[in-house]
Structure 1
Amino acid sequence: MLKDKVVVVTGAGSGIGRAAAMMFAGDGAKVALIDRNEDAARAVSEEIGQAGGESLPLGCDVSKEAEVEKTIDAVIQEWGRIDGAFNNAGIELHSKSVPDLTADEWRKVIDVNLTGIFLCMKFEIAAMRGTGGGAIVNTASAGAIATQPNMAEYASSKAGILGLTRAGAAEFGETKVRVNAVLPGLILTPMTEDRLFSDPNFAAAVDPLLRRHSIGRFGKPADVAEAVRWLLSDHAGFINGVSLPVDGGFTAG
């Protein structure tokens, strides 16, 4: 589906990003592996190389404009273009109610989850417009439209991504740059598993959360990666400005 395309994946060192990067490389894409933890990105790059794929690991804090610009420039220097981007890097919530949430905690989540995607889009779109277009997929969350208690900063950051995605689609579709979003439900990654099964604030929520996923299970990183793979491909060439739940029915209930 993505053979010979140049695809950027942020948050590529683990979880959904890693699964997506491995899948895209397996398709024959050249994959830029962007992660704040450069060692994790390099480890994924080694796996891709062992499987015969091509990748470029790059360390980057997506909340810092200069780092994002430098990273996108490095991809262009390596391969000459960007055909697709999966803006997936993000951080989790603090599990606090609004009165207990500090302004610094609020800003940290907004800076990474929302401003980080804006910065990635800013430089990705500029690159794509110069080479004939491309496709972008942003990771939002089912929590953007079906929120739970104690997640104000997280839900707000993810809801903002939906607006940013629609704005990008409306503004850049005529230049052949498509922008869509995925809304994962609860996906079992190392980060979410640790919080869900060890954080006492979440322990009591496991069964109710599972019931909300009417398909009868929590998600796997590959579930999201498959949806993103399609949205980035030419098969989804008429899809623009969509926010696609990949949530096992969470937002349907």
Structure 2
Amino acid sequence: MTGAGSGIGRATAIELAGQGATVIVTDIDETTATETTEMIKESGGEALVVALDIGDESSVRMAVERTVAAYGGLDFAVNNAGLASHHRQLDQMGLAEFERVVHVNLAGTFLCMKYELPALQSRGGGAIVTIASNGGLYAIPHAPAYVAAKHGIVGLTKVAAVDYAPDGIRVNAVCPGPTRTPGFERVAAGTDMVAMQEAITRLGRMATPQEAAATAVWLCSDATSYVTGIALSVDGGRRA
């Protein structure tokens, strides 16, 4: 579970543990990852914390190797880690920022899958869920790097689903709309952002991290054993 130190990542790690999984809790911020791990253990679950920078290939490789060494293999992976970009139009964005956002979000997801897939093959199959965004399905104004990266993640997910289906590996993407994570709450504090988002959402409210997490865990489960290669909106009807 990447990016498990907060928000959707933390909620997914906790939900996975609640369903009986042993969870490898990874994040670039080892302190928040440790907090998630302690929450899981306090609830009776089993978890191991691993510091992980998904933009660093050696870090990704070592995280997967440590998982396999500790527990004998890998059954599921949820790739959630990533970062947002500054709110600006394309011609106002520097190349360095564009490359950084795409590197972490898209290349980082690629690197995770590069090492997760052989581990799943060795296990005889399994599932990968990538946490993309509704920005992977349509445009978000003033977010060119983020949207480009998230579209790339959806495409990468579909290619992996096709290529690794013969190995019994399912690969799907979850595409959340705006979600009331702690990060969103910090950005929205003192503004009317929540009201604006609720006004354009058919269900009349924003998602909780737990709702996105439940979808990711469902896609890992046997309940979706015939589902692969999809990009599933979790957006309260906005895309409809």
TM-score band, normalised by shorter chain: over 0.9
- Counterparts of 1:122-201 in structure 2 under 5 Å? 122-197=114-189
Q: What residue identity is the alignment partner of 1:50?
A: E
Query: Given the superposition, is the C-alpha separation of residues 171 and 48 from structure 1 closer, same or farther in structure 2, using an over 3 Å criterion?
Result: same
Q: Deviations over 1:129-160 (max 9, x none)?
A: 01101100001111222323210111111000
Counterpart of 2:239 in 1: which secondary structure?
A: helix
1:236 counterpart (208, 224, 227): 224
TM-score (norm 1): 0.92
Q: What residue identity is the alignment partner of 1:106?
A: F
Q: Provide the rounded CA distance (Å) in 2 between the counterparts of 1:204 and 1:157.
A: 27
C-alpha contact (below 8 Å) 1:188/1:218 kept by paired residues: yes
- Counterparts of 1:191-230 in structure 2 under 5 Å? 191-197=183-189, 203=191, 206-230=194-218
Matched with 1:117 is: 109
User: How far 1:195 moved relative to its partner?
Assistant: 1.8
Q: Deviations over 1:102-138 (max 9, x none)?
A: 1111011111111111000010001000110110000
Which segments of 5 or more consecutive residues in structure 1 lack a partner in the other structure?
Answer: 1-8
C-alpha contact (below 8 Å) 1:93/1:151 kept by paired residues: yes
1:54 aligns with 2:11: no
Q: Provide the rounded CA distance (Å) in 2 between the counterparts of 1:212 and 1:160.
A: 26
Matched with 2:74 is: 82
Counterpart of 2:10 in 1: which secondary structure?
A: helix
1:14 counterpart (2, 6, 13): 6
TM-score (norm 2): 0.97
Counterpart of 1:31 in 2: which secondary structure?
A: strand
Q: Provide the rounded CA distance (Å) in 1 between the counterparts of 2:140 and 2:31.
A: 34
Q: Provide the rounded CA distance (Å) in 2 between the counterparts of 1:184 and 1:143.
A: 9
C-alpha contact (below 8 Å) 1:140/1:181 kept by paired residues: yes
C-alpha contact (below 8 Å) 2:197/2:205 kept by paired residues: no
Counterpart of 1:172 in 2: which secondary structure?
A: helix
Which segments of 5 or more consecutive residues in structure 2 lack a partner in the other structure?
Answer: none
C-alpha contact (below 8 Å) 2:6/2:32 kept by paired residues: yes
1:246 aligns with 2:206: no
User: How far 1:183 moved relative to its partner?
Assistant: 0.3
Could you tell which deviates more after superposition, 76-85 or 139-148? 139-148
Q: What residue identity is the alignment partner of 1:61?
A: D
Q: What residue identity is the alignment partner of 1:48?
A: I
C-alpha contact (below 8 Å) 1:142/1:250 kept by paired residues: no
Name segments (4+ residues, structure 1) moved above 6 Å: none
Q: What is the RMSD of the two structures over their aligned residues, measured on CA atoms?
A: 1.2
Q: What residue identity is the alignment partner of 2:73?
A: R
